[in-house]
């Protein structure tokens, strides 16, 4: 039986990601990556939203991905798992960069005036295209890491032969709370020095816990029993984190903030709050949720192009007031995200290269 709460967590979280990136694009906290502040307000109070959601919204996606990997492997072979994950994750984050995502690279570089710097340095055009393609990876870091974790899981399964999975099924409630400590420990290792989103150890801990622990029905039922307390705890940690670091303007996305105990608590208990609450109150489907579930991957892949294009073409030259730029960026995130998915998913090669859609075999009769 399909676990609708997993589908609902995915699309709800992707919607939060879209909203986050709108605020991120014009943030006044000095956190680089977008256009930056376009208002005359010295402190933008709504930027606190960035602090509230950032610690947990990607961890919960990795947690759900781990659960989904287990469910997939219950019905498919290891070989099918590797093949499907490579097509769905590795192809879009490699071939897709050269097939389409270099456009995102162009917009991102233009936002940061990168072309001026490269022109001054005399960078050859073929090299510039490679830089654009690499810059277009953007939000695809998530599926890059997810493919890496999936391949490691394939090897790990060969070694542990189901022992860890059986042990995870017996995890009591008190042990689930104590998993916070390995999460915090994992946040200290395998962090890339320049691009802070590649936190290999940290996100892997969520993925592997999702596979070995939270994919079990017994564990899910236990979480559902404590959904309300977990929701309160998760919100409380995130409120404390937001109030503490927003007031100082600290960079929530980089060290030392993203490696401290409070950040890890927000990430873990925020993820448990989302998982338990939606499992208990949102394990259902209707026409809207089914539609969002089918389109959420495309929205994730393409939404930032809409947001960043508005920033480049309208907000940067100050063609519209700041509030209009925010609203237009939000609308463009959804419109471009859904629109490009509908178009590209229908084009055979590009559907495969950019979205990992399986090629349909033609039936030849005769």
Q: For 180-245, give the DSSP string.
A: HHHHHHHTTSSB-SS-TT-BHHHHHHHHHHHHHTTTSHHHHHHHHHTHHHHHHHHHHHHHHHHHHH
The torsion region of residue 161 among left (phi > 0), alpha (psi -120 to 50) and beta comes to left
Domain boundaries of the chain, sorted by first residue: 4-354
Asked if 252 and 48 touch (Cβ cutoff 8 Å), the reply is no
Question: 54-97: per-residue pLDDT in tens?
Answer: 999 999 999 999 999 999 999 999 999 999 999 999 999 999 99
- pTM for the structure as a whole: 0.94
pLDDT band at 34 (very low <50, low <70, confident <90, very high): confident
Look at residues 135, 141, 128, 139 and name the one whose alpha carbon lies nearest to residue 107: 135
Task: Give the count of alpha carbons within 13 A of 191, CB side only.
Answer: 17
Question: 335-352: per-residue pLDDT in tens?
Answer: 999 999 999 999 999 999
Sequential DSSP letters for 79-120 = HHHHHHHIIIIIHHHHHHIIIIIHHHHHHHHHHTTHHHHHHH
Q: Angle at the Cα of 90 (from 86 to 96), degrees rounded to 5? A: 130
CA distance 327 to 16: 15
Angle between helices 48-73 and 227-246 (to 10 degrees): 140
What pLDDT is stored for residue 366 in this prediction? 41
């Amino acid at each position: 039986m399909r676990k609708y709460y997993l589908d609902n967590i995915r699309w709800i979280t992707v919607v939060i990601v879209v909203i986050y990136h709108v605020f991120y694009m014009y943030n006044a906290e000095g956190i680089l990556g977008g256009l930056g502040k376009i208002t005359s307000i010295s402190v933008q109070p709504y930027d606190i939203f960035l602090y509230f959601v950032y610690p947990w919204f990607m961890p919960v996606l990795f947690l759900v991905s781990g659960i989904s990997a287990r469910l997939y492997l219950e019905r498919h072979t290891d070989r099918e798992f590797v093949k499907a994950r490579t097509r769905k994750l590795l192809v879009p984050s490699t071939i897709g960069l050269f097939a389409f995502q270099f456009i995102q690279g162009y917009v991102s570089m233009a936002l940061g005036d990168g072309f001026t710097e490269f022109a001054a340095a005399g960078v050859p055009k073929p090299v510039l295209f490679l830089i654009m393609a690499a810059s277009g990876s953007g939000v695809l870091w998530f599926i890059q890491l997810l493919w890496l974790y999936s391949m490691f899981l394939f090897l790990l399964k060969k070694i542990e032969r189901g022992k860890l999975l059986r042990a995870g099924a017996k995890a009591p409630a008190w042990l689930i709370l104590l998993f916070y400590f390995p999460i915090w420990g994992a946040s200290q290792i395998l962090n890339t020095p320049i691009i802070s989103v590649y936190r290999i150890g940290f996100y892997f801990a969520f993925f592997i816990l999702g596979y070995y622990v939270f994919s079990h029905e017994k564990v899910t039922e236990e979480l559902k029993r404590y959904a309300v307390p977990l929701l309160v705890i998760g919100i409380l940690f995130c409120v404390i984190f937001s109030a503490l670091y927003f007031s100082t303007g600290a960079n929530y996305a980089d060290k030392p903030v993203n490696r401290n105990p409070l950040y890890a608590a927000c990430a873990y208990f925020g993820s448990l709050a989302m998982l338990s609450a939606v499992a208990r109150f949102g394990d259902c489907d209707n026409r809207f949720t089914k539609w969002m579930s089918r389109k959420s991957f495309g929205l994730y892949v393409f939404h930032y192009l809409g947001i960043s294009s508005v920033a480049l073409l309208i907000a940067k030259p100050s063609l519209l007031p700041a509030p209009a730029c925010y609203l237009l960026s939000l609308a463009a995130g959804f419109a471009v995200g859904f629109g490009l998915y509908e178009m590209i998913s229908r084009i055979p090669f590009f559907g495969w290269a950019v979205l990992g859609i399986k090629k349909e075999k033609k039936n030849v009769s005769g």
